[in-house]
Structures are given as structure tokens and as C-alpha cells.
Amino acid sequence: MAVIRPSAKVQARAATGTLAVENVVKRFGEVTALGGVSLEIKAGEFFTLLGPSGCGKTTLLRIIAGFELPTAGCVRLGGEDITAVPANQRPVNTVFQSYALFPHLSVFENVAFGLRSRGFPQAEVQKRVETVMGMLQIERFMARYPHQLSGGQKQRVAMARALVNEPQVLLLDEPMSALDAKLRAEVQVGLRRLQRSLGTTFILVTHDQDEAMTVSDRIAVMREGQVIQVGTPEEVYARPRTCFVAEFLGAANLIPASRNGSGVKTALGHLELPAVPQWEEGNLAIRPERVEIVPEPRGSNCVQVQVREVVYRGSHQEAWLEPGGLRVRAAPYPPLRPGEEVVAHLPKDALVVLDD
Amino acid sequence: MNRVLVWYGELTTPGALSRRGLLFLLPAALWLMAFLVLPSLALVAVAFAERGTYGEIVWTFSLENLKRLLGYGLFGWSPDNLLILGRSVWVAFVTSLIAALLAYPLAFFIASRPPRTRYLWLTLVIIPFWTNLVIRTYAWQLLLSPELPFARVAAALGLAEPGTALYPGSFAVYVGMVSAFLPFMVLPLYSSVERIDSSLIEAAKDLYASRARVFFQAILPQTLPGLTVGIILTFIPAMGMFVIPDLLGGAKYLLVGNLIQQQFGASRDWPFAAAISLGLMALTLVALRVYRRSGKDVDLV
């Protein structure tokens, strides 16, 4: 991807304010899109709003951009309340899902749009547009029109059009959903590098957990207008707080359990836990790659199981074990065979006690 | 040579294909011939003929009618006919402009209604078509009469003599014209506005655009197809309109449509009327050409 040479100006500006969302509620008639969301996004952070469609993540982004007014609550940037500041006066720019490039303007004029709106002199416009286009490697499309560009090129033009304004916060509304899988992976890495070198706060909206894990410093998992959990990709993946988070990010085995002394009783028998759960009955989670197949029982949390089904995936094999329908992801050798009796070890520190 | 080809799964030859194509074209071609080409040719022919003593057409070739149209009459040159032509273009232009200015807010208003009530509003736009244009124009005479609020308000503001009607005159003509043509502007514009991609409007706002810049860069380019159709549907009939200027403009505001009507009717001078019609047609084509050319690369703020 692009080798990025940010201007001194861009770096100097990196230390601007925190974006705070405080108790934001948004209702559309009877429907509550956001039911009291609070977030604090530090300057220079790559923050992702992750959730299934209809969870309110795009609504939240639109409130931050200034396209929607919240029903209640406020948005602060660097301590200043910007809730009622119109979109065209916010130091915030957006990369739209559809890119929303102006079809009647050339790539150059599209990128120059924001600068021209603010009445920058021609020489300054020329200089800034060329710099940002060089950064994103789109100089050679300068004279083309949006309909002459591929999806990936459009995406870069949309990025350039937003970044040329040197926003304090860049909002990205599923900017990669229109790209094919291979290009998307490439763009994700490029996006992360770009954000690192610019030091601008990026807020990404996506429903793709891989994308969120690849690019983010922190992730907010959303569901039905609520933020369920906020944390680094590691925290959210390894320490999910609810069944929803555990299942939404990657694959997870959910094990219903009831408290039994210091451990819990489950369909797999008695399991020891790293911490005593708060509930009498609830759920545990364990990632398939954390389940170990061992030659013979050793210590606690070992279960005698039977292999029901095996899928060979090249880099690993996936197997479903009975009882409990436990899913396991193991090294491809030695191969497991359906019907085989094996011992599964569920390491104590790999078991996560969920809140629900 | 008998080349064979497959056309949408059918085995055929180029000759058979073109014969079939011509057959399909025939009804349309005949229709155009009978109702457009032949009458137009007749009009051109009559325009170069002469008027007989009793209003009959005398088939001798003459350029007299065209000369008269350009103002060379029995008593030397007078600008009257050219003035009327020029005024017609002007009235059509102003009518289109006002209709467009009124149609934008209306189209946006209708497009922003919930889908169920949207059709109600569209019906309200179309309802005037249920009444004949002549009756609607007479209705304006009543509405603009001295006792009714319009005239009273105008008199109170000092815009008109107290106790007089607001017609005949240019104001009444514009009122009549705009109200008659507004639906022709609103409907095509609405179809464009309904399909507008609002993310472009948001993008413009996001990029610090003022209200004017949002309109000219994000809204106008997207609604240009509808606006173009609306302007053509308004401008061309407005150029030839004669009912409205006749009833609301009186002798004070003669348009080319009235002139043609007079010549075909009361004056019984068909050759001159045909010449004026040709002039009007030429003007319309020129106007369309100018519009198309400037519309291709509309210069925007």
C-alpha cells in the first residue's frame, strides 16, 4: 500500500480533543434506534462501532457527523458541546458507504470540494489536493469522473475528499462493504497504516468482525441501540461479557452451567473456573481453538468425549464433539476421526464466565 | 450471399431481419407522415402563397408574408410583429422560470410526505387538468375582479387603482400562465426529486457547503433531467399560448399565439398566419437548440 508522508501540519494537529458521546438517545417515532449510549473516544484512536444491521451504529455515526439530532444526550469534541452544530460547521468528515462522489465533478474537483466550500485560494487548493492524492496514490485519476473509476479507486477518492480537509475526526460508514474480499483485506491494512501515520481519530462503522479486529484500537460492540462491550480487539475477543458478544466475534462454544461449589455443573460434567460466577445459572464460553485434545485425562476440566464430525480446513481441522456439541479447532495432525473416543481439556483460564 | 445468423435464439438471415424491422416501423412512419410531415409541408407551402381579395389562398409564390412578419408593411417598417414575437419568448421564459422556482419546493414537499399521502398531493397537482383551460382562465378573471381580496390587497398596498380589476395586463397573464403550466413542471421534477440520492446532499453538507452550494452541486445536477423535461413542456406551449393572453391580457398584452389566431380567424389571412407559425416554429427550435447547448455543460457555482 501507499507510503505515507504526512505533512507537519497534520502531525501537529494530532493532539486534538477527545470525542465524547454522552447518554445519546435517538427515537424515530415509536422505534428507539439508540437507547442511551455513552462512549469516550480518545484523540488519535482507531475506534470501531461493530454490530449487526439495525443495531444503531450508523445512527450513532450520523449523530456524530451532524446529519441527525439526538432525541436526548450530547456529543462533545475536545470538551465543547457540538450536538447542535450543523454538519457543515463540524471539524468532522465522513466517508460514505456509497462513497457519494459528485458525478458531475472530476476526481480533482471532488477532492477539492471541501476546500472550495471554505473559500481556500486556488494555489492552496491545488497544493493540498495534490498532496492528499499523492498520499492515496490517485494522482493519475485526477481528470477522470467517478463513473470511470473502479470500486477501490472510488473508495480512495472518497477517503481523499474527506482527509484533504484535515478533520479532527474521520467517520467511515462501512467504506469497504462494496469491495471484494481480497481487495478489502488489502484496504484494511492500508487504512490502519494511514490512520497511524496521520494520527487522526478514525471512527469506523462495520458489521464485519474480521474488519473490526484488523483495524481497531478499540471496538464497541453494539446491539439493539445499546453498547454491550467496549475494549481492545483482544479484550473483546478473549473476554466477551455476554453470549451475544461471544458469538458475534468469531466462533464460540456456549455452555449452559449452574453453580456447584467453587466450580459449575454442565453437560460436560464438573468444570473448575478462574472466578466464582455471580449467578446461580448462566453460561460459559470457550473459543474452539482453546479446547485441547489430550491423550489422557490430567487434572481437572478433562472430559471424555466422542468425535461426531470432522471438517478438514487445510491450516486446521474443525471437529464437533459429543456430549455438548462442543466445537473444537485443532492442528490438522494427527487427524481426528468420526466416532473416535478422545479426551477434551477445557483449560481453566480459557473458560469465560458470561454475565448472562 | 445468403448469410445466416442467430437472433435471440432464432435462425434467420440479415435480409429477413431488416424486412421485419421495416414492417414494424411502418405504422409509426405512416402516422408521422399523415399527422406531422404532410401538415407541416402544407403550412410551408401556404406561407409562400398570397391572400386573395375574399380571404382565399392564391397559389402564386411570394415572399410578401415573410417580409410582413419582419415588419415591412404597406406603410413602411414597424416593429410590432417582431415585438410580439420577442414578447412571446420573454413571457415563455419568465413563465418557465417562475414555474421552476415554485416547482422545486413543491416537489420536495411532496417527495418528503409519507408514501401513502404522497399520491394525494400528486392528485391535487393534477386536479386542475380536470377542468378546461378556458374555464380555469375565466375563473382567474373572477378571482382578479375588483371586489375580491386579491385586488383589494393590491389596492391597499398601492399596487393597483382601488376599485379596478387586476386584469387585463401582464400580471394577470403571468398568473394565468404559471398556474396553467405549474403541473407540467412539477410532475417531471417530482419524478427526479423522488429518486434523489440524499447521500450526495449529506456529502455536500459534510464538506462545509453553504445552502446555495448544496443546491447547485448536490440537488440541481441530480434533478436536471426532470427540470429539463419540465422546461421543455412549459416553454414550448407557453410560446404559442393564446387563450390566456386573450382572456387575461386583452389588447394590452398580445402574444404571437393571438396574432396567429387573429390571422387564421378574423382577418382570414391564412398565408400570413402560416408565415407567423413558421416564425414561431423557427424560434422554438432555436430556443431548444440554445437550451440543449447550454444545458450540456451547465455552469455551476
Q: What confidence tens digit (pLDDT) does each residue in A62-79 have? A: 999 999 999 999 999 988
Tell me the three state secondary structure of residue A108: helix
Give the separation between CA B187 and CA B223, rounded to whole angstroms. 12
Binary contact (A118, B210; C-beta < 8 A)? no
Q: Which DSSP helix (H) or strand (E) runs through B135?
A: helix B133-143
Task: List Cα–Cα distances, B66 to A56, A145, A342, B274, B285, in angstroms.
Answer: 71, 48, 106, 10, 18
Q: In what order do the strands lie in the sheet with A218-223?
A: A92-95, A169-173, A201-206, A46-50, A218-223, A226-231
Q: Choose the mutation target among A88, A89, A125, A145 for the interface with B, i.e. most B CBs under 10 Å.
A: A88
Residue of A58, A56, A72 whose CA lies nearest to A24: A72
Lowest mean pLDDT among A198-202, A269-273, B50-54, B232-236: B50-54
The stretch A282-306 carries a mean pLDDT of 88
Whether the pLDDT of residue A3 is over 60: the answer is no
Q: Tell me the nearest-neighbour CA distance from A223 into chain B, angstroms.
A: 25
Q: Give the model confidence (pLDDT) of A94-118 as tens digits.
A: 999 999 999 999 999 999 999 999 9
B208–A contact, CB cutoff 8 A:
yes
Average pLDDT over chain A, rounded to an integer: 89
Closest residue in B to A166 (Cα–Cα): B207
φ, ψ of residue B176 to 5 degrees: the values are -65, -45
Lowest mean pLDDT among A69-83, B91-105, B244-258: B244-258
Q: Which three cell numbers stand for residue A69?
A: 439530532
Of residues A12 and B63, the one with the higher pLDDT is: B63
Amino acid B34: pLDDT = 92
Beta-strand relationship, B76-77 and B72-73: antiparallel
Which residues from chain A sit within 8 angstroms of residue B210, using beta carbons?
A: 88, 117
Whether the pLDDT of residue A1 is over 50: the answer is no
A 131-150 → B contacts, CB under 8 A: none
Amino acid B299: pLDDT = 38
Whether the pLDDT of residue A85 is over 50: the answer is yes
Closest residue in B to A101 (Cα–Cα): B200
Amino acid B202: pLDDT = 94
Binary contact (B221, A103; C-beta < 8 A)? yes
Average pLDDT over chain B, rounded to an integer: 87
Name the residue among A66, A104, A117 with its Cβ closest to that of B221: A104
Contact B51, B58 (CB under 8 A): yes
Lowest mean pLDDT among A229-243, B7-21, B241-255, B269-283: B241-255
Amino acid A14: pLDDT = 39
Q: Which three cell numbers stand for residue B181?
A: 403550466
Distance between first and last Cα of chain A: 43
The alpha-carbon radius of gyration of chain A (Å, integer) is 24
What are the residue ranges spanned by the domains of chain A? 251-353
Contact B248, B141 (CB under 8 A): yes
Closest residue in A to B196 (Cα–Cα): A100
Contact B42, B33 (CB under 8 A): no
Closest residue in A to B224 (Cα–Cα): A104
Amino acid B67: pLDDT = 84
Q: How many CB atoms sit inside 10 A of residue B237's CB?
A: 16
Q: Choose the mutation target among B207, B222, B296 for the interface with A, i.e. most A CBs under 10 Å.
A: B207
Name the residue among B206, B208, B218 with its Cβ closest to that of A94: B206
* Topology, domain A251-353: OB fold (Dihydrolipoamide Acetyltransferase, E2P) (2.40.50)
Q: Which three cell numbers stand for residue B117?
A: 399521502
Task: List Cα–Cα distances, A43 to A40, A73, A230, in angstroms.
Answer: 10, 21, 16
Name the residue among B197, B206, B217 with its Cβ closest to that of A93: B206
Name the residue among A87, A96, A113 with its Cβ closest to that of B199: A96
Give the separation between CA A351 and CA B83, rounded to whole angstroms. 93
Binary contact (A113, B200; C-beta < 8 A)? no
Reported confidence tier of residue A16, pLDDT bands at 50, 70, 90: low
Contact B257, B247 (CB under 8 A): no
A78–B contact, CB cutoff 8 A:
no
Binary contact (A102, B218; C-beta < 8 A)? yes
A28–B contact, CB cutoff 8 A:
no
Reported confidence tier of residue A5, pLDDT bands at 50, 70, 90: very low
Q: Provide CATH code, domain B78-296.
A: 1.10.3720.10
**CA A238 from chain center: how many Å?**
15
Give the separation between CA B82 and CA B86, rounded to whole angstroms. 6
Amino acid B35: pLDDT = 92
What are the residue ranges spanned by the domains of chain B? 1-39, 78-296
Maximum CA pair distance of chain A? 76
Which residues from chain B sit within 8 angstroms of residue A85, using beta carbons?
A: none
Of residues A100 and B59, the one with the higher pLDDT is: A100
Contact A124, A115 (CB under 8 A): yes
Q: Give the model confidence (pLDDT) of B103-123 as tens digits.
A: 999 999 999 999 899 999 999
CB pairs under 8 A between A and B: 63
Lowest mean pLDDT among A4-13, A35-44, B102-111, B116-125: A4-13
Q: Give the model confidence (pLDDT) of B190-236 as tens digits.
A: 999 999 999 999 999 999 999 999 999 999 999 998 998 999 899 98
Reported confidence tier of residue B1, pLDDT bands at 50, 70, 90: low
Residues in chain A, total:
356
Amino acid B70: pLDDT = 83
Q: In what order do the strands lie in the sheet with A72-77?
A: A31-41, A19-28, A72-77, A80-81
